[in-house]
Chain A
Amino acid sequence: MTKGFFLFGVLLLPLISMGQKSYYLGVDLLRSFPSYFQKGFTFEPSFIIKNKHDLYFDFAVGITRISHSSVYSNINYRNEGEYVRFAIRKDVGGNFDIGLGVGFSSFTEYGQVQFSNPSFGNYLLGLVQENQLFFIEPTINYKINLSPRFQLVPQYRVPVVLATFDEDLFPVYSAPGVGDLNFFTPKSSLKSTSATIAISLRLVYQIKGN
């Protein structure tokens, strides 16, 4: 799989180097701050190259440190991980572009379950599971021009995890870079789903080019 990614990168080089280029730096805003749903943060800076054929080569790395007070009914949950993403996007007009991305995520999920007993007190059960997975994701992006160099880019993604990623202790709750994998899971199920939906909001700054 790693060799495949390397070969993929080598094959892309002629595409990236074609023609006049613009360069952008971006950062995801939506996942950078704690929310109603989770504490912690995801920091995702990105570097984007656009060639004269309106093709974007979109590189992103991310680091995630999030926690939920309760998942799967009674698990105090923490997720720490990193990921890389690469996408090719193409302008389709009207400030929209569409793309296809690939990524790799490596993360550790920590769960803590508390069993209470009136005679003996609480017993805390610690759960730890590590995971690495590849994913692909079609994306739709919409560019809102804030100024000549700043753009706000809402992004809609449908990440699909490749290969099996089930764990023994509890279903993978979320994968950094992918999103929550319990989104379509029935409450009676003990498996995560391979596909999910995700939304990003990036602030992008053009550092060079037209």
Chain B
Amino acid sequence: MIALGLFVGLESCKPCDPSLSPNLSIVFSSGRQYKRVASIDPSSVLIENNPQASFLLPVWVGSEKMTFVFSNESQKDTLTVSYSRRFLLKSTDCGYVYEISKLQVAKPTSFRSIVFTPNSFQLTIND
């Protein structure tokens, strides 16, 4: 397990839209494709019948940990990320926004080699 422990400051909106969620970029460097991606808690199917080797996945602001399940016909893998949330009033004109930071890979995660790209909110998986 690679504990990334790196800081990424990502505001939910720039300059003033609190409804936009930050996305987590996942790239499989081996080119392996998954046709289905689902999240657990909150439970949601994010990708279905669309084989890809890179994904842009939403991060849920309602918790500080998310688990994604990647699957295809022969394989099922799990990636869990944890992060910190900070809610703040940006301005009286803009209203409340949130920031996601301190992204880390957490358990359960079935991948063994993950590289974190600072400042881009991107994980490259080398398995």
Contacts and interface: CB of A to CB of B under 8 A. Distances in A.
Interface of A: 72-75, 111, 113, 115-121, 123, 125, 169-171, 182, 185, 187-190
Chain B contact patch, size range:
20 to 34
Interface stretch (B3-11, B93-101, B104-112): B93-101
B75 interface: no
B62 to A, nearest CB: 4
Nearest to B42: A120
A94 to B, nearest CB: 41
Contacts, number: 68
Nearest to A185: B92
Contacts of A182: 92
B93 A187 contact: yes
Nearest to A72: B92
A178 B67 CA distance: 49
A73 B58 contact: no
Given A119-B58, A120-B44, A74 B95 contact: yes
Contact of A123 (B39, B46, B62, B92): B62
B19 interface: yes
